[in-house]
Structure 1
Amino acid sequence: MSETTKKDESFSNEISEGDKYFIEQRDLILQDISQSMDSILNNLNGLNISLENFIAVGKEFESVSDLWSKFYAGVSTVDDAQTSEDNITENT
């Protein structure tokens, strides 16, 4: 292990100050990108949960919607039948 440490030390001594600065800045930018990606992932998970809740609420009202549509269909049928009867009696 001491041989790899010596190699790392000799390699770090060979790097110029500009290269060290570049590597440090690169690492900082990569950390910033990683944090931003984590934040985006968390926000997407929150959005997904909200959408799932929205869909669940919509499904809860589906049966009520079906009931009202049947009611309106029945009322319009009765109105149509009543209008037909009125037209027949007026024509005779």
Structure 2
Amino acid sequence: MKIRAEDLPEKERALLLSIQTLSRHEKQALWLLIRLSNKDHICIVPRLTSEIQQLIQKGLVTINPSFHTQNKISLFILRKTPFLMKKLQTIGQQK
């Protein structure tokens, strides 16, 4: 299943295009985070890898400041694009 930009709200299309230009490693990291995230688009990871840090810099992932623990970090995945995230989660469940 391929996601087309015209199937998304206009404000989410630019983010889809920026995802398509990510490096292979960044795409793999984002895909893993999407598949591990819950229905609220939250994913908990043990540490921030360099790929996750790049995704944070590009605005695709944000740290959840209200989650506090010593061993884990909570991340919001594609927080500003709920329609795109839902489509990607659906694809992730099929694979």
TM-score, structure 2 normalization:
0.24
Structure with max Cα Rg = 1
- Higher percent of residues as helix: 1
TM-score, structure 1 normalization:
0.24
Q: Which has the higher contact order (CA 8 A, sep 6+)?
A: 2
